[in-house]
Amino acid sequence: MNSVRKDAAIIALSAKGGALARRVQEILGAGEVLGLASRVAGPDRTVASVSDTLAECFGAGRPIIGICAAGILIRALSASLGSKQSDPPVIAVAEDGSVVVPLLGGHHQANRWAVTLAAALGGVAAVTTASDVSLGVALDEPPAGWRLRPGDYKSAVARLLAGEKAKILVESGPTPDWLLQLPQAAEGTVSILVSDRADARANLVYAPQTIALGIGCERLADAAEVWTLVEQSLAEANIAQEAIGCVTSIALKAAEPAILGASRRLGVPARFFDAARLEQETPRLRNPSDLVYRETGCHGVAEGAALAAVGAEGDLILPKRRSQRATCAIARSRAILETAQIGRARGSLAIVGIGPGAAEARTHEVDAAVRAASDLVGYKLYLDLLGPLAERKARHGYELGEEEMRVRIALDLAAQGRDVALVCSGDAGIYAMATLVFELIDREGNVDWARVEIIGLPGVSAMQTAAARIGAPLGHDFCAISLSDLLTPWTAIELRLQAAAEGDFVIAFYNPVSQRRRTQLAAAKDILLRHRPAETPVVLARNLGRDGETVHVVTLTDLKIDEVDMLTLVIVGASTTRAVARPDGGHWVYTPRGYAKKMDASKAERA
């Protein structure tokens, strides 16, 4: 089955389940067999925790086929469920192959896969989607390229399920083969119309997405004005909003809020063409303009972009209409618009922090951004830490020291219309790559980079992880100082150390030492000892969130430089920071914020 994605996770919990998982893999011709450690022999990959693996695969958008009870999948994934549009297929298969149950993603091939598996295994597919079971088609979720317009869907489907016949009329767009499997009759009582007309009426109306909307506007044109022009243009052409496949314009407008806003309101992609491509449409323009040519390099933006989107066989059905600061034109394609092949997208760059590296330490929005990315850029180790989340992505891995190259590549890819994730450890904005992104944009004046949509997504920084492991040393005012003089002169670092010491800040030291830098931490210790007690707690946290993690406490006077390396974060307490002995021999470390005064006052009142 070519429709099954190669990254489908086929999860087995027992030896019998492992054997069936291999059979499922053969039937589908795809998928990775994941077996529970010590129970399943010879899987493609061994896993230690079924629930963690299920959540990780689901979060990565991988289809899941569990050779287990449906309840196991339900309990493991219940907290992760989103919507039927976004959730990947999830299928439960009984260990003897007797029953195959599509639990999620029925309209994303799960029902189809279940039927195929059941037929091959000699079992039963427990498909429960009513229209799929009785009609053979999911009428509320048409395939890409068609949209169901608002109407009395439930009543129409109920009548079809009750045995009434459909009467299908294709008024515009290609014939939708997926509808033809419905029971039909020339005098059918349930009318189904395929049309792009705004005034189309039937029991069910499906709009083929064959319409391209071209928009041009002045810089920072009012979004309400542009949207009003769009509505007026559609009304004049009698075109339904659902029939629009994309909003198009010239590349220099790729970051224009009004155009992007119209795209979002219509729920379709915005695609952009360079001026040279739009100039090729000049012979087909109804309203070519020399003024527009002088401003943009092409004789028409709205008409040119709409025509470029629908191709040589498409037609301009509404010439340019104008408002005070915008223009709009409409073109129709003979086929469903393949938007991914039209022009290019605006492009996006998500600057993501993955925390210490473990999947459970990443935020959901970071995982979502990585899943949505076409390209991942980062230090090779950080990309490896993403595990299954990085599968099916174009990976651009670099070594340490190649930070500028990473950012340039990420910006260039995004400027080409790609969706890029720049992957950093910890938080991308704390001694990481986010600042370099904006510095390069600021210094170089690259307009293509500037038009890219940039999204910063926080991660758990090392100082946060270390503080959480040991207690609450950052409970009062604190600062972070990098001791690396690779990019910052030591004289500047020394001034900051002195100020932080005099201000009695808790200090988190990043990059405390390296193989060649062995003196800076010692110098920092000397400065701090002149301003705070020798017994000040110091937290040494190494390999946070990874194998070999250690977190322990020493005093400032007992801090030994040889105990610290580049994998270690050092937190030095303020003069008020306290270490509290734990019964297990360790310590909690916290910095009081001043609640003692309130507690003492309350105690005095009670007395």
Supply the CATH number for residue 228's domain.
3.30.420.180
Establish if 189 belongs to a structural domain: yes
User: Final residue of a domain: which of 157, 180, 208?
Assistant: 208
Query: Which CATH number does the domain housing residue 468 bear?
Result: 3.30.950.10
Establish if 585 belongs to a structural domain: yes
Establish if 66 belongs to a structural domain: yes
pLDDT at 539 over 70: yes
Confidence of residue 129 (pLDDT cuts 50, 70, 90): low
pLDDT at 4 over 70: no
Which residue has better confidence, 77 or 516?
77
- Reading the block at residue 378, the tokens are 């980062």
User: Final residue of a domain: which of 69, 98, 128?
Assistant: 128
3-state secondary structure 336-390: CCCHHHCCECCCEEEEEECECCCHHHCCHHHHHHHHHCCEEEEEHHHHHHCHHHH
Does 259 lie in the same domain as 270? yes
pLDDT number for residue 7: 77
pLDDT number for residue 1: 46
Does 430 lie in the same domain as 311? no
Spatial separation of the C-alpha atoms in residues 515 and 517, rounded to whole Å: 6
Q: Of 66-80, 131-145, 512-526, where does mean pLDDT reach its minimum?
A: 131-145
Does 95 lie in the same domain as 188? no
DSSP 110: I
pLDDT at 336 over 60: yes
Confidence of residue 177 (pLDDT cuts 50, 70, 90): confident
Q: Residue-wise over 41-58: b if at least 16 C-beta within 10 A, else e?
A: eebeeebeebeebbbbbb
pLDDT at 222 over 90: yes
Q: Residue-wise over 243-267: b if at least 16 C-beta within 10 A, else e?
A: bbbbbbbbbbbbbbebbbbbbeebe
pLDDT at 135 over 70: no
Establish if 333 belongs to a structural domain: yes
pTM: 0.77
Confidence of residue 183 (pLDDT cuts 50, 70, 90): confident
List, in sequence order, every beta strand (DSSP E) within 49-137.
Answer: 64-67, 90-93, 99-104, 124-125
Does 120 lie in the same domain as 24? yes
pLDDT number for residue 291: 94
Establish if 606 belongs to a structural domain: no
pLDDT (tens digit per residue) in 371-398 = 889 999 999 999 998 887 887 799 999 9
Amino acid found at 47: V
Confidence of residue 541 (pLDDT cuts 50, 70, 90): very high
Establish if 139 belongs to a structural domain: no
pLDDT at 87 over 50: yes
Amino acid found at 524: A
- Measuring CA to CA, which residue among 469, 502, 426 is closest to residue 571? 469
Does 335 lie in the same domain as 215? yes
Mean residue pLDDT of the chain comes to 91
The arithmetic mean of pLDDT across residues 563-589, rounded, is 93
Does 491 lie in the same domain as 374? no
pLDDT number for residue 607: 63
- Measuring CA to CA, which residue among 79, 128, 76 is closest to residue 107? 128
pLDDT number for residue 125: 84
Establish if 102 belongs to a structural domain: yes
pLDDT at 575 over 60: yes
Q: Which of 208-222, 516-530, 593-607 has maximum average pLDDT? A: 208-222
Which residue has better confidence, 123 or 333?
333
Contact status, residue 347 vs residue 453, Cβ threshold 8 Å: yes
pLDDT at 132 over 70: no
pLDDT (tens digit per residue) in 468-494 = 999 999 999 999 999 999 889 999 999
pLDDT at 404 over 90: yes
Q: Of 90-99, 108-117, 131-140, 533-542, where does mean pLDDT reach its minimum?
A: 131-140
pLDDT at 109 over 80: no
pLDDT number for residue 136: 63
Does 405 lie in the same domain as 476? no
Contact status, residue 8 vs residue 64, Cβ threshold 8 Å: yes
pLDDT (tens digit per residue) in 448-468 = 999 999 999 999 999 999 999
Query: Which CATH number does the domain housing residue 54 bear?
Result: 3.40.50.11220
Cα-based angle 168, 170, 176 (whole degrees, multiple of 5): 85
Does 184 lie in the same domain as 122? no
Q: How many domains does the chain have?
A: 5
pLDDT at 107 over 70: no
Q: Could you tell me the residue range of the domain that residue 232 belongs to?
A: 211-341
List, in sequence order, every beta strand (DSSP E) within 22-177.
Answer: 32-36, 45-47, 64-67, 90-93, 99-104, 124-125, 146-148, 166-170
pLDDT number for residue 131: 58
Does 309 lie in the same domain as 224? yes
pLDDT number for residue 130: 52
Reduced to 3 states, what is the DSSP secondary structure of residue 328? strand
Cα-based angle 452, 454, 458 (whole degrees, multiple of 5): 165
Confidence of residue 2 (pLDDT cuts 50, 70, 90): very low
Does 171 lie in the same domain as 288? no
DSSP calls for 11-29 = EE-SHHHHHHHHHHHHHHT
Q: Of 100-104, 134-138, 529-533, where does mean pLDDT reach its minimum?
A: 134-138
The arithmetic mean of pLDDT across residues 237-263, rounded, is 97
The arithmetic mean of pLDDT across residues 536-552, rounded, is 91
Does 302 lie in the same domain as 246? yes
Does 332 lie in the same domain as 313? yes
Establish if 115 belongs to a structural domain: yes
Query: Which CATH number does the domain housing residue 353 bear?
Result: 3.40.1010.10
pLDDT at 426 over 60: yes
Q: What percent of the chain has pLDDT over 70?
A: 96
